[in-house]
Structure 1
Amino acid sequence: MALTLYLHPLASFCHKVLIALYENATPFEAQIVDLGDPAEHARYLEVWPVGKIPVLHDSTRDRTVPETSIIIEYLDRHYPGKVPLIPRDDDEALEARLWDRFFDLYVQVPMQKIVTNTLRASGENDRRGVADAQASLAIAYDLAERHFKERLYAVGESFSIADCAAAPALFYAGIVAPFDGTHPHLSAYFERLLQRPSFQRVLDEARPYFPLFPYKDAMPARFL
């Protein structure tokens, strides 16, 4: 098989790429990476020295492709399917890239800051960093609430790379900093994302790993 995706089923950024693959039924091999295992981590560094997941390897083109947004653009260019994840209209493509970055940088990143802080040893917690992350999420929720007042998806009526980014970002962020009772338009958008078979499949595959999530006790029962 040409494509191998190095991933972990619990990781939100891996979910983003999996959604893109499942939307277009793109054949690939999943290679689960346990970065907590020193020996496995060392082997993985030979694939991508930065050591982060996910990473896509294309044996046909002998290309290793890191970074989620670049992976999805690569797939859209070289392995296109029925769902164009980068809009063909130039202006819409820019809008999709903007909202892709929005969900990565202003929802995923602060969410991860809050989550990883719980994993730090006693005395190494970053209270100020967590407070800043919570404030960033609040701003992002308000902005997204206005954006989705009159939009079905992040860019008009069509699913795109931006929605691949939004789904896992909002899934985990909604657990650590719930928005369902305060942001109705954003909540309705998230519910639409939950109806996508691609996202449902990702969550099904992640479910056995949910007990490892530091905020598992706050996870809504419908996801367990």
Structure 2
Amino acid sequence: MSLELFGHPFSSYTWKALIALYAAEADFEFRVVDAGHPAHIEAVQSAGPLGKFPVLRDGENLLFESTTIIEYISHHHAAADMLIPGDADAAIGMRMLDRMFDNYVMAPTQQVVDEYIRDAENPDAVRIGEAKDKLDRSYAWLEGWLQFYPPLDHITLIECAAAPALFYADWVHPIGERFPRLRRWRAHLLHLPPVAQCVEDARPYRPYFPPGAPDRD
């Protein structure tokens, strides 16, 4: 049986795992998790305590959490040192950036989205303001970091985490002109073939973005 990834095309963390699979040119089947596929929902709910996707199934192995899935792909289904380097110190640096994008970019982005899910007509302006302040701090840190990280034409754990996080973060709180490196890098990421595939596959779902999807990207 080939690899199976359970998730949804509009999910940022599903993107994260998909980008790794596309970059590794892995043979896999994508299983959409929605009301029309109860067996896929059941597989996801059986994997972890909260029933969240993405979930990767490889024979008897069932893994949840996108970073763990990428670690597994790197070890079993990708060329050596492609997604995560074998050098221990370089790998530590990549894992730090992975947590940066999940916890300091995607998390406050999700906070904004959650406010619109909670009450689309009257989202909590204070909570949204706090989340956007966090994003500004993260944008500023990344702007400085990018002095030392040239845009790559291949995919690593960093690109897997950064592309979906920055894609959606810029939708809820646009990356301003005072962050030119970050703006250029986001554009570069969206043109990488594995990322561009995710962008296109998610396009039909844009009307469902709770705060409203911008007419770009």
- TM-score, normalised to structure 1, is 0.87
Find 1:210's aligned residue among 200, 206, 209: 206
- CA deviation profile, 1:175-210 (whole Å, cap 9, x unmatched): 110114220011111122122100011111111111
Task: In structure 2, give the amino acid aligned to 1:94.
Answer: I
State the secondary structure of the residue aligned to 1:151: coil
**Aligned ranges 1:57-206 → 2 under 5 Å:** 57-59=57-59, 62-81=60-79, 84-121=82-119, 125-153=123-151, 159-206=155-202
Q: Contact (CA 8 Å) 2:206, 2:213: kept in 1 or not? A: no
Partner residue in 1 for 2:13: 13
Q: Contact (CA 8 Å) 1:6, 1:53: kept in 2 or not? A: yes
Task: In structure 2, give the amino acid aligned to 1:28.
Answer: F
Q: Measured at CA, do residues 38 and 74 of structure 1 come closer, stay the same or move farther in structure 2, by a change above 3 Å?
A: closer
Mind listing any 5+ residue stretches in structure 1 that lack a counterpart?
none
Task: In structure 2, give the amino acid aligned to 1:98.
Answer: M
Q: How many pairs are equivalent? A: 217
| Aligned-pair identity (%) | 36
Task: In structure 2, give the amino acid aligned to 1:76.
Answer: S
Shift of 1:159: 3.6
Q: Measured at CA, do residues 28 and 122 of structure 1 come closer, stay the same or move farther in structure 2, by a change above 3 Å?
A: closer
Deviates more, 1:171-180 or 1:74-83: 74-83
Deviates more, 1:139-148 or 1:157-166: 157-166
Q: Contact (CA 8 Å) 2:120, 2:210: kept in 1 or not? A: no
For residues 94 and 43 of structure 1, what CA distance do their matches in structure 2 show?
Answer: 31
Mind listing any 5+ residue stretches in structure 2 that lack a counterpart?
none
For residues 141 and 160 of structure 2, what CA distance do their matches in structure 1 show?
Answer: 18
Q: Contact (CA 8 Å) 1:115, 1:215: kept in 2 or not? A: yes
Q: Measured at CA, do residues 36 and 133 of structure 1 come closer, stay the same or move farther in structure 2, by a change above 3 Å?
A: farther
2:33 matches 1:26: no
Question: Root-mean-square deviation (CA), in Å?
Answer: 2.6
State the secondary structure of the residue aligned to 1:179: coil
Task: In structure 1, give the amino acid aligned to 2:6.
Answer: Y
State the secondary structure of the residue aligned to 2:149: coil
Q: Measured at CA, do residues 39 and 88 of structure 1 come closer, stay the same or move farther in structure 2, by a change above 3 Å?
A: closer
Q: Contact (CA 8 Å) 1:8, 1:33: kept in 2 or not? A: yes
Q: Contact (CA 8 Å) 1:26, 1:81: kept in 2 or not? A: no
Shift of 1:125: 4.6
Q: Contact (CA 8 Å) 2:47, 2:64: kept in 1 or not? A: no
For residues 35 and 125 of structure 2, what CA distance do their matches in structure 1 show?
Answer: 26
Shift of 1:44: 4.0
Q: Measured at CA, do residues 135 and 35 of structure 1 come closer, stay the same or move farther in structure 2, by a change above 3 Å?
A: farther
Q: Contact (CA 8 Å) 2:7, 2:53: kept in 1 or not? A: yes
Q: Measured at CA, do residues 167 and 141 of structure 1 come closer, stay the same or move farther in structure 2, by a change above 3 Å?
A: same
Shift of 1:41: 4.8
